[in-house]
Structure 1
């Protein structure tokens, strides 16, 4: 029998197919080192199971039209069997209690199944490779930040240990580089919460602990490792042993060992003795060791292949320097390529904003546009962007980041002249030159008919300087030179109103021409930007406020 299951159909029927009682309560495992989804006892419906199966590669993702996504009974059963295999639970093909517990177990955020159609999949006997690995034996890395429960020196000690474990088998050397302005690195290591600079947000305490990116597969992200800042991290050696009396704690050392495996090209293994087993396991009091699967994968990636042993410190993934980061003084040394060595820098316990070249420094006012999207400040320059949760507070993750990291279909766009969140549907409009793109927030993709010419809106074919939705009346405005337009939502154009274009000085008194950006910020006030300065505009008085303009870098980016 080939029974077609539509994911939006009646759940009771789907539960019957899978042999599960609907709404059965599931409690977190009593072993806090292994299971604690952060939600205690919960009622997990079939929706959670399907989300899990899609998220970790067992089922195909939803299509553009969710109602058209069909899964056969056999397909769902096979997906559950694969999930059980990777979770080391009895393989029944049904969502039995042991299988449902996997939904709340702590684990890595990288999918267990890589699409067979993808060139990334390389099945070699028991182990699975996520990519072809690095084409050099010296890999550089930089630690961007760390969790508040951890000391900086402890984080470096754990990183040195796990890099030595992988490096000894793979004949790799890891070089610590700490200057975010001048140093290009292969692997950026950072902590972040929720949306943190890529398209894979963290879920708070429990659940996904971290994720990493395979080498050479993700422009701007290849090799990077991200840890969930909301977890209760601990340093193994400082505690002395696994803290059995603390619920929900997570060993940074053991998670880092797993994620570095992904950074080197290894995918998940279904073998429980493998470091690349996808679920978090209670660490032993001794040093961790690689499993047979891990060693075989390393042998294939880095021993059988001919890789130069020379001083090849080129960086495979170009990165732009970061201007606002925790800084310290350090001396870095390296040994022979057969070992992995790093040195731990001493923190200065200060936060400063470094200045680099003028074309790479927000403090000098060198940016293309500023936008306020989803309650965060986005700053765009060239092909890169920053996200700020508030004035002077960078969002978690490594910045600047390629704009294409969050908005993949913008890959190849050289600059963003303006961006704003459309009120009618929450879509994000990006403008570059004479074109615009519509980013659909619901499915995280650019509209298939983009880019489109700005002439669709009746705007100049050579582009605009700025655009925003004014918080006072929720209307969209476009600016160019000394003129501006108000968008007519009914007509879908700026045409049809003889009052526009109008002079900026007539309506926006005190605002100069040729502005760079304009936003309505979370404080309800409107800000205009140009060069190194900004103007705060009183919506009530329709005039700029006193004591302006002010320096953008000092006020918004915490520049010294």
Structure 2
């Protein structure tokens, strides 16, 4: 079935995070216009809010499969270690195994050169932090590739870190023809190490493919981002030796690649029997720990919390200097409510006075979360750091470059996002600023005590949509409010 231009663009906006996958957004011209403006602003093209020729050309540009607009998955812990192992699980027939191995090594080296990271290649039967494979269409991770063009590759954030490359592409090295493996691999490994996309078209983490650059260097954003996670290379440390960059010769028995690539058969033929056998299937896990946001399945999955098989014991040890207030609060679809405070989390419905370590219940989350926001069936956690898209998308929130210090955030059923800073509220639709006002002006029914320095907000969700019951937290008190009228219904103390 042929899709219309509007359907193609709508699917693109949803796939890359500019438009909520809720079908209602597609039917709203206002939401689509805002999403188009967000895409155009991110890609640094003319911001019109309309589907013009420049926008259509952008939509058809080969790119990374990881979403651009991740306003609520805004921080990565990175890896807890500095020496990472990688392995190559399968190859493409476009290049020799030696060429692929050398190119992957080159791509990792550009990150090692400017950070404290080192990398070691291991065999296919050994444990590895980063697992690399080439695959076509359905390649085993529920995030299918789309054939030649479109999505070139995708990668998973720590602590999975795998990188997958679309084998329907024409992969090349040291060439402007086809798709250059080095450039794409270096970009994907940025994700594997914890970096997000950048809206700066002059840096590696820009999501759109710019072709091969024989004089490639990391951009300043790339370097600052990786050093924010892992630090720079100290004077005492040794820079890892640069891998040889000479392109290995093809085996004499390997025929040259035709200038025009023939269509790939529906069923991929077996590799020649003269080549050694190797693992060509991706890992068999179908429920990965960390799923890149390109799959439609992920958007409809309910929030799941990874817990240790044996429930960790509660801890009452709070770090000195941790304030008596929550950093963020959220509730699940079953109305279980969690409050985050420094490095601890409280189960407010069942055991409000007994904290547990965040890493014991939510092992992939950082400490000192700034805010939590339920959108649809997912909960998104906000932490403002250098490699946070928030400082790029919502620039008005910055109090200084890269610093946002937002107190709380809230999403409403009409598609607006509210960010609270001091006594001010920033109201956005998508990434377009709608209004800046004081809390007292925008929420006149809030008591005087809530007109500044709110620490957390939480609107209960029913079937993935905000309900009429909300909670406001400040210092050691919580307030139950009517989420529609913002009128305070109940005030009560919190037991820390």
Return the TM-score normalized by structure 2. 0.49
Return the TM-score normalized by structure 1. 0.44
